[in-house]
């Protein structure tokens, strides 16, 4: 379990470094083509950070509202669920998060919040009803692991990087398209247009793929952390099996799909899931848990 946790942390930061390299290359090319040096790169970074910070402080409320979650839950509302969360929070050394219930028969859950002191966990009515005690405990441990590992904060950083890549590549293309033909050196302007077009098409796609890869690595990390917390990997493996056989959620947004323990939109076909899914294939997660 410790090896799994260390491996996923290393891979996550390797992807972050790749992000920064892409942004640096785009900024360097943009400075040459637009003859503005690095001023636009700095502007793009500042702008993306400001927009993301606004989202960062309100993202939890948006996610809970979009999912239709009801709460926060009091102990008198559902003592069973409340005590599970409370006991696991003590085990993990975390403050007790707010608990919300999503009125849906689907089997799913997610955690949100900018840090452990401002965290919430949402569980569907279906997952509370259909999972055994040790399975539901494992799911809650998975969500608490996301909070403890600061995955929400990490994904906010990734959103900043993705936004910066999109902003830079879009600006580079527009500059080449609008001003390329007016430059004295028409050949240079044409080259700028071609480079800008290539970066416009490829950079956002690569950035989104890296974002999804980071999300998938954090799911593996949360699985391993949950197994370490409960000392019972089979509990989460069994829960994931039941979740995979359940129905997709009806009320969900693609923007918040990466928060859930399993893709709430349903799994993609096997060939595409590795690249374009917010979650790793459940069968691979189950295999990793049972090899611990």
Q: What tens digit of pLDDT does each residue of 217-235 get?
A: 889 999 999 999 999 999 9
Q: Which region holds residue 282: left if phi is over 0, alpha if psi is between -120 and 50, else beta?
A: alpha
pTM: 0.81
CB distance 250 to 66 below 8 Å: no
Dig out the tokens for 30 from the structure: 């943009």
Q: What is the mean pLDDT of the chain?
A: 82
Better-scored residue on pLDDT, 54 or 138: 138
**Confidence band for 200, pLDDT divided at 50, 70 and 90:** low
Per-residue pLDDT of 144-180, as tens digits, reads 999 998 887 777 677 777 777 777 777 766 765 555 5
The yes-or-no verdict on residue 187 having pLDDT over 60 is no
Alpha-carbon distance of 162 to 277, in angstroms, equals 16
- % of the chain with per-residue pLDDT over 90: 39
Residues 6+ apart with CB under 8 A from 152: 59, 111, 112, 113, 114, 115, 146
* CA distances for 196 relative to 6, 11, 30, angstroms: 38, 30, 8
Tokens of 215: 């999300």
Which pLDDT does position 143 carry in this prediction? 96
Q: Give which of 82, 228, 72, 77 is closest to 149, Cα–Cα.
A: 228
- pLDDT value for 277: 80
Catalytic residues: 143
Are residues 277 and 84 in contact, defined by beta-carbon separation less than 8 angstroms? Answer: no
Phi, psi torsion values for 100, nearest 5 degrees = -125, 150
At 283 the pLDDT is: 93
Task: Using CB atoms within 10 Å of the CB of residue 125, give its burial: 0 to 12 exposed, 13 to 18 middle, 19+ buried.
Answer: middle
Looking at residues 104-111, what average pLDDT do you find?
Answer: 95
**pLDDT at position 251 over 60:** yes
């Amino acid at each position: 379990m410790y090896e799994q946790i260390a491996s996923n942390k290393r891979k996550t930061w390797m992807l972050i470094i790749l992000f920064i390299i892409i942004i640096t290359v785009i900024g360097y090319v943009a400075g040459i083509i637009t003859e503005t040096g690095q001023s636009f790169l700095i502007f793009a970074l500042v702008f993306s950070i400001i927009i993301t910070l606004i989202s960062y402080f309100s993202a939890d409320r948006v996610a809970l509202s979009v999912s239709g979650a009801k709460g926060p839950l009091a102990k008198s509302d559902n003592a069973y669920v409340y005590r599970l969360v409370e006991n696991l929070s003590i085990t993990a050394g975390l403050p007790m998060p707010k608990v919300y219930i999503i009125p849906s028969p689907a089997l799913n859950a997610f955690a949100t919040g900018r840090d452990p002191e401002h965290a919430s966990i949402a569980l569907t009515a279906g997952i509370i009803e259909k999972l055994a005690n040790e399975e539901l405990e494992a799911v809650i441990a998975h969500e608490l692991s996301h909070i403890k590992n600061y995955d929400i904060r990490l994904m906010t950083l990734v959103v900043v990087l993705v936004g910066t890549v999109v902003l830079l590549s879009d600006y580079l293309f527009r500059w080449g398209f609008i001003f390329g033909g007016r430059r004295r050196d028409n050949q240079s302007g044409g080259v700028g247009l071609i480079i800008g077009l290539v970066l416009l098409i490829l950079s956002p796609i690569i950035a989104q793929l890296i974002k999804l890869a980071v999300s998938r690595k954090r799911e593996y990390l949360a699985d391993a952390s949950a197994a370490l917390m409960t000392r019972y990997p089979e509990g989460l493996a069994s829960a994931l099996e039941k979740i995979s056989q359940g129905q997709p959620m009806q009320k969900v947004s693609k923007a918040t799909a990466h928060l859930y323990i399993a893709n709430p939109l349903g799994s993609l076909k096997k060939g595409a899931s590795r690249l374009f899914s917010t979650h790793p294939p459940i069968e691979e997660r189950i295999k990793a848990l049972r090899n611990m």
